[in-house]
Structure 1
């Protein structure tokens, strides 16, 4: 499969049994929280997020959660340890990395460093409608930290979140915490939230991506080259995007910085 990120060719290898192609547009059957916005056609926007003091409180508190997860995994770090140096203390110890990820992959909202209502209000403004960080399909109120070491296969394969159960009808945020740059931030394909399923070939179940197994299905092939971009939100910004967009599938190309980001989902209130 031919793919590029910011016009630079990338190596992309996916294994797994293919799912039957369907000529369906999944978003056409769902609630589109981007509808009516200025960014509805692209499926994403980068915008100022919180007030400076709130943004700082959020990012510092999330960094503290990662330091706590490192300590729980047996990696003693100082209270001022720069979390972008995560790869330096973990290295290629996959077992210890997975122990950290097992903690950071799901937090209840009471661990969020600021009131969830603050984020709900701002995301609601950007969507033009009230939203809440509550999944009506499974009653979950959660967030998670994504950890992507430089040069490792820590990032998800190219996928739609909707290929996993219970992620219908929502909108996603990506908030930089550390190490998020033009070489490492989340990648996506603008406008792909309206592509029919038949426009790509994907795995039926989870995918094996560059030798690593993931629970999410992944894109295996496409008739045309896939052109991804990295919107690259700054430290005071948020990337808000439809979970029906194809996203992921790009490694952290930073020379010496782990990418840490907050990821949450919001549904209609």
Structure 2
């Protein structure tokens, strides 16, 4: 399947058994945290996030979690190691990279470098309604650090988070920690949160993308042209987006920067 990202062609091939689809719109029967906002039609917004000192504390603490994960795999990592150079330290050692990911893929919110309430309050302001970083389906209170090396197949396939039912009704944030640029930041399809399910062909359970198996189903085809963009928040900003949007599927195109980002979900409180 061919898509575009920032108007440049990109090949996106996903393997897996196709899932039957109907003309239903998932968001139409779900809680929509974008509703009533100026950005409801696009499904995302980029906005200033925490106060400068708090944002700095958050990002520096998250970078230290990456260093901590590297040390846990046996690498000597200095306290001032720039995590955007992660790929230089890992090299071609895929086993060590996967070992790092086992640490960074999921943390309890108690490991956040700032109080989780600060994030909840700001996301609530942006949505216009109270939210909590607590999944009502399993009571989990988690965040994730995504590490995407340049030129590697570290990124997820194009997908909707809500194809995994435990992610219904929430809102997502993408916060750049290091190496996030117009060539590496999260990509999404504006307005696709209102696409009917039969506008895309997706896998039924999980997906194989660039030889790797992913838990989330992936897009195999579409009746519409899929035009991804990279909103690319500045270091002091956050990208807030609906989990019903199609997103992912875009490689880190920078030559020498690993992208590290905070990814976290919030539900109606």
TM-score normalized with structure 2 length: 0.99
Q: Residue in 2 aligned with 1:205?
A: 205
Counterpart Cα distance in 2 of 1:3 and 1:129: 35
Q: Which runs of 4+ in 1 moved over 4 A?
A: none
Counterpart Cα distance in 2 of 1:130 and 1:145: 24
1:164 deviation in Å? Answer: 1.1
Counterpart Cα distance in 2 of 1:38 and 1:95: 44
Q: Residue in 1 aligned with 2:187?
A: 187
Counterpart Cα distance in 1 of 2:150 and 2:263: 19
1:76 deviation in Å? Answer: 1.5
1:92 deviation in Å? Answer: 2.1
Q: Deviations over 1:136-166 (max 9, x none)?
A: 1000000010000000000000000001131
Counterpart Cα distance in 2 of 1:248 and 1:99: 22
Q: Residue in 2 aligned with 1:107?
A: 107
- 1:64 and 2:64 are equivalent in the alignment: yes
Match of 1:113, SS state, is: coil
Counterpart Cα distance in 2 of 1:224 and 1:127: 29
1:75 deviation in Å? Answer: 1.6
Q: Residue in 2 aligned with 1:121?
A: 121
Q: Residue in 2 aligned with 1:136?
A: 136
Counterpart Cα distance in 2 of 1:198 and 1:230: 25
TM-score normalized with structure 1 length: 0.99
Counterparts of residues 240-259 of structure 1 (less than 5 Å)? 240-259=240-259
Match of 1:166, SS state, is: helix
1:17 deviation in Å? Answer: 0.6
RMSD between superposed Cα atoms in Å: 0.6
Equivalent pair of 1:2/1:224 in contact (CA under 8 Å): no
Length, aligned pairs only: 269
Match of 1:144, SS state, is: strand
Question: Structure 2: 5+ residue runs without aligned partners?
Answer: none
Counterpart Cα distance in 2 of 1:34 and 1:99: 36
Counterpart Cα distance in 2 of 1:92 and 1:208: 21
